[in-house]
């Protein structure tokens, strides 16, 4: 029996595949198109689509454990609910689902509420799953690295409420640990929800300061205006997604992203090491600029 990883060609999914393969697990990597990305030796590439029922029934056959990650798309909820129902149909009782922190609080943000709907299904049916709720990914800021480098401005309007940004490598390592824990268990384990955060809450000014130190020159925070942020995103992506991200940023400015009490200690116990800091991320990113 194997572990099926959806979103296997993405940033976190590919890291999860690598981590599981490195631990000696039998891994199936779900992709929509074959041969586009190399996977570690021993990993089986499985072609399927989360809204194609026949392909998912096939992909879920001979699977013991499921890692469910699906991208922010207009049909995200359908993808997740169909996949989870098919997993139940296949008798899969070991699941790790990648949600988002405060999915139940950012109620006007489409992709947050979508993930909360999936969480409600998992809870309502008492599915044996770990729900991972990551905060803002540090690696999101790689997309704005040219702006920071060339203009000396940190442009992401995260405000002052504080965001416990988390490194995607830490998210993947925690997902791998939970997948292996569930996969190796003699029986299905109780449901668990984990806030997945970084070790400190960061404001816009804090992130600018981290980049100043990493680049060795002044970087300032660009401010919290959301109109320009939405317009910039809409200039190279779909308008619905730009608006979704605007609503998310408004929530970040209002309440921030903070793990529950003891979250950092729990995560570091799972990892067996400290969580990566934003300062370290900025140093690495600056070196690769």
pLDDT tens, position by position, for the chain (289 residues)?
799 999 999 999 999 999 999 999 999 999 988 878 889 999 999 999 999 999 999 999 989 999 999 999 999 999 999 999 999 999 999 999 999 999 999 999 999 999 999 999 999 999 999 999 999 999 999 999 999 999 999 999 999 999 999 999 999 999 999 999 999 999 999 999 999 999 999 999 999 999 999 999 999 999 999 999 999 999 999 999 999 999 999 999 999 999 999 999 999 999 999 999 999 999 999 998 5
The pLDDT of residue 177: 98
Domain contains 200: no
User: Exposed/middle/buried for 81, CB within 10 Å: 0-12, 13-18, 19+?
Assistant: middle
What ranges make up the beta strands (E) of the chain? 2-5, 27-31, 44-47, 63-68, 95-98, 129-134, 153-154, 192-196, 220-221
Name the domain count of the chain. 1
Domain contains 251: no
The pLDDT of residue 289: 55
Domain that residue 39 falls in: 2-135+167-195+258-275
DSSP 3-state of 168: helix
Q: At what angle do helices 263-271 and 168-184 cross, to 10 degrees?
A: 70
The pLDDT of residue 64: 96
Q: What is the CATH number of the domain that holds 81?
A: 3.40.50.720
Domain contains 242: no
The pLDDT of residue 200: 97
Domain contains 36: yes
Domain contains 284: no
pTM here is 0.96
Domain contains 75: yes
């Amino acid at each position: 029996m194997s572990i099926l990883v959806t979103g296997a060609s993405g940033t976190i999914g590919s890291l999860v595949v690598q981590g599981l393969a490195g631990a000696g697990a039998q891994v199936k990597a779900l992709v929509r198109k074959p041969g586009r990305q190399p996977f570690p030796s021993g990993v089986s590439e499985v072609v399927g689509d989360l809204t194609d029922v026949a392909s998912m029934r096939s992909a879920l056959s001979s699977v013991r454990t499921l890692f469910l990650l699906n991208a922010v798309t207009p049909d995200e909820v359908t993808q997740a609910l169909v996949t989870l129902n098919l997993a139940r149909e296949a008798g899969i009782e070991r699941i790790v689902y990648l949600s988002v922190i405060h999915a139940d609080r950012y109620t006007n943000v489409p992709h947050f509420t979508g993930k909360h709907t999936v969480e409600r299904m998992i809870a309502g049916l008492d599915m044996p799953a770990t729900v991972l709720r990551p905060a803002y990914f540090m690696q999101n800021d790689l997309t704005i690295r040219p702006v920071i480098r060339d203009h000396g401005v940190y442009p992401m309007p995260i405000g002052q409420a504080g965001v416990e940004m988390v490194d995607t490598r830490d998210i993947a390592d925690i997902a791998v640990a939970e997948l292996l824990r569930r996969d190796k268990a003699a029986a299905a384990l109780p449901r668990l929800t984990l806030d997945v955060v970084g070790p400190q809450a960061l404001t816009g000014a804090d992130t600018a300061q981290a980049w100043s130190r990493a680049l060795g020159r002044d970087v300032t925070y660009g401010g919290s205006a959301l109109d320009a942020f939405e317009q910039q995103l809409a200039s190279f992506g779909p308008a619905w997604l730009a608006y979704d991200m605007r609503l998310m940023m408004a929530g970040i400015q209002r309440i921030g992203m903070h793990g529950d009490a003891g979250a950092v200690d729990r995560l570091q116990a799972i990892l067996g090491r400290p969580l990566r800091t934003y300062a370290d991320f900025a140093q690495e990113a600056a070196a690769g600029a």
